[in-house]
Amino acid sequence: MHTLADGLRLSMNWLDNLILITYFAVVLGIAFAAKRSVSNSLDFFLSGRSLPAWVTGLAFVSANLGATEILGMAANGAQYGAYTVHWYLIGAIPAMVFLGLVMMPFYYNSKVRSVPEFLLLRFSKSSHLLSSVIFAVASVLIAGVNLYALAIVLRALLGWPLPVSIFTAGLFVLAYIVIGGLSSAIYNEVLQFFVIVAALVPLTVLGLARVGGIDGFIDKVMTGPGPGFLTAWGNTGIGQDNPLGANWLTITLGLGFAVSFGYWTTNFAEVQRSLSAKNLSAARRTPLIAAFPKMFIPLIVVLPGIIALLVQPTIGQAGSGYDYNDAIPILMRDLLPNGVLGLAVTGLMASFMAGMAANVSSFNTVFTTDIWQAYIKPHMPDQHYLAVGRAVTVIGVVVGMGTAFLAASFSNIMNYLQTLFSFFNVPLFATFILALFWKRMTAKAGFWGLLLGTVAPITFYFAYQGGLVQMGSDQDANMTASMIAFAVNMAVSVPISLATTPKTDEELDGLVYTRSAARDQGERAPGDDAWYRRPALLGWSAIVLAALCYVPFSF
């Protein structure tokens, strides 16, 4: 089992502990305040579809900014250097814009409570049940990654035993979701966003100061890891070597298309935040608002990872005692004074709870509405489903505690997380694309395409792990697996669709893409017509800004 090195143990004083305790108190206070707005299952699972866009937008990016993002992307920074910005600029922004501009009208206007429920309306019960089970499994696995990420930090930094860390942190998240439902999770995610940023900015600033500022940073990278650590596209030609071990084809098609669109457009932990918005305009703007802070996260996550490698050059090497996951804790140990240290530990706690809460709240929604209500106990009073949702939250956290240990074999937890995305999100995205844009797509094609599209990357992964397939790196294998998942799904779905009978146009009304449906603005609220709130302007501005952000890493 990989754990953070014992040499990372920190000395927390009374001020650090006070900051941490105060944060816990505020989180529980928000949960109890949110409880007053929970009177039915819609309130618990989707916040009554009543939240403003700025709240859901910050929650959208915060839900992704979990401990796995902070530790994992910093680990990627230490292992791959500037190549890691691909996960943000090509691996997030275009897909977030596509979700807001193209897919949200269909999600929101169909009044579905989850992503799998859309497949029930579009296809059949078999596709719906399969996607529900796949998503439920993926949710608890990803929740477990967040739980494991924080537990190893607490063990190393504070001396808590790993089982105690897992149990305590999981219990706390359980409390505020059960008490306040999704509203509690979302409002806490807004708070957590600011806490996380406030914790990581000092780490970046002090880290740069430690290596001699920007000029010193560049000089040390040039003489240490080498110039390849400062470019995102260098040596990415097919057959060339680079730290990432991937080429431009796997980066653009594997990460930029399959993984990225698969995650951001079908991962209900993210889509659920948009569905909680007060109207369609706010729902569309949710991922678009989130795109702007998302593209600058590398400055406080990836950059510290590279700095950690300069501070501790043996990180990730056999026998060094440090894994790539140790990048952020190394900087915390070496750079932060008491008080700021407490804020940093609180930021890691916040990031963990944001990530795990997002996956647990989406798990309880999918299990309750798409499995329990649809197939086990239909036609029950609404209060029954509200009670089941709270009970399933307990189950989700407990199972997440168990799956936390599955991440223990990965020295870079982001490698593990991307593996899960290639298994579960990419096949679902392929099914959704065909379902939305091809009326000829049938229910049988949806089921078999999704099933075999999930089996294919899992088979490839085990072939890679068994040495039957040689790849440049774990991430290269994940990108390739994602392309395989998408291709297999398409190769299975298209011929089956052509050989089976599709639904009629009347049955597909509102469930497939049409220009009129895409232009539907829904109910408008005061201020929605303001020029700076236009989804198209926000979306294309994010695309252009992301392209400009690539410039410093392209030479």
CA-based angle 544:268:513, to the nearest 5? 65
Tell me, what's the pLDDT at 444? Answer: 94
Would you state the structure tokens that stand for residue 269, as one six-digit string?
A: 């932990």
Q: Tell me which amino acid residue 357 is.
A: A
Burial (CB count within 10 angstroms: exposed 0-12, middle 13-18, buried 19+), residue 554: exposed
CA-based angle 246:249:255, to the nearest 5? 70
Distance CA 93, CA 544 (A): 10
Distance CA 551, CA 548 (A): 5
Q: Tell me which amino acid residue 222 is.
A: M
Tell me, what's the pLDDT at 7? Answer: 54
Q: Is the torsion defined by CA of 250, 85, 457, 266 positive or negative?
A: negative
Tell me, what's the pLDDT at 4? Answer: 44
Distance of CA 9 to the CA centre of its chain: 29
Q: Name the one residue in this structure whose structure tokens are 């790539």.
A: 324
Tell me, what's the pLDDT at 164? Answer: 78
Distance CA 111, CA 174 (A): 27
Asked if 139 and 263 count as a contact pair (C-beta separation under 8 A), the reply is no
Q: Would you give per-residue pLDDT tens digits along the chain (555 residues)?
A: 344 444 555 667 778 778 878 887 887 787 777 677 666 666 565 555 667 888 888 888 887 776 677 888 898 899 888 899 999 999 999 999 999 998 888 888 777 777 788 888 888 889 889 988 888 888 888 777 777 777 766 776 667 777 777 777 777 777 766 776 656 667 777 777 888 888 889 889 999 999 999 999 999 999 988 888 898 888 888 878 887 888 888 899 888 888 899 888 887 778 878 888 888 888 899 999 999 999 999 999 999 999 999 998 888 787 777 888 788 888 888 887 877 777 777 777 777 766 677 777 778 888 888 899 889 998 898 889 888 888 888 888 888 777 776 666 665 677 777 888 888 889 988 998 899 889 999 999 999 999 999 999 999 999 998 888 888 778 888 889 999 999 999 999 999 999 999 988 888 887 887 766 666 666 777 777 788 888 989 999 999 999 999 998 876
Tell me, what's the pLDDT at 488? Answer: 96
Q: How many helices (H) and strands (E) does the chain have?
A: 24, 0
